[in-house]
Amino acid sequence: MSSNCVKCGGPHASSDCKKEREDEPKCFNCSQKHPANYQGCAAFVAAKQALLNRTRPTTNILTTKPAPPFPPLQTLPQTTTYSQILKNP
Ligand SMILES: [Zn+2]
Ligand SMILES: [Zn+2]
């Protein structure tokens, strides 16, 4: 086992940890004051989110047809403009 201690992040098993229980735990994932197995850990949440993103059904790029070219903008009908109104009061 090469996993670090969940209590202090040290290179030893959690059961071998010499850290006092009263001491604040230190997460070796995000260095915050919580055990490394804390599920509210930012690193844990990020990893979980990454997993969700990976398993989420995504658009199959291979079968996706290229989007049709954008239709040309319709030319606006020539209507009376303000400038024309000003010219012909
Ligand atoms: Zn430890
Ligand atoms: Zn953490």
Q: How far is the CA of 64 from the centre of ligand 2 (A)?
A: 39
Give the number of C-alpha atoms closer than 13 A to the C-alpha of residue 64, restricted to the C-beta side.
6
Nearest ligand by distance to the CA of 32: 2
pLDDT tens digits, one per residue of 38-78: 889 998 899 899 988 887 666 666 666 777 777 766 665 66
- Residue 75 is predicted with a pLDDT of 66
Residue 46 three-state SS: helix
Q: How far is the CA of 3 from the centre of ligand 1 (A)?
A: 11
Q: Identify which has the larger pLDDT, 75 or 28.
A: 28
Tell whether the model's pLDDT for residue 11 goes beyond 80.
yes
Q: How far is the CA of 57 from the centre of ligand 1 (A)?
A: 40
Question: 75 — alpha (psi -120 to 50), left (phi > 0) or beta?
Answer: beta
Nearest ligand by distance to the CA of 23: 1
Nearest ligand by distance to the CA of 13: 1
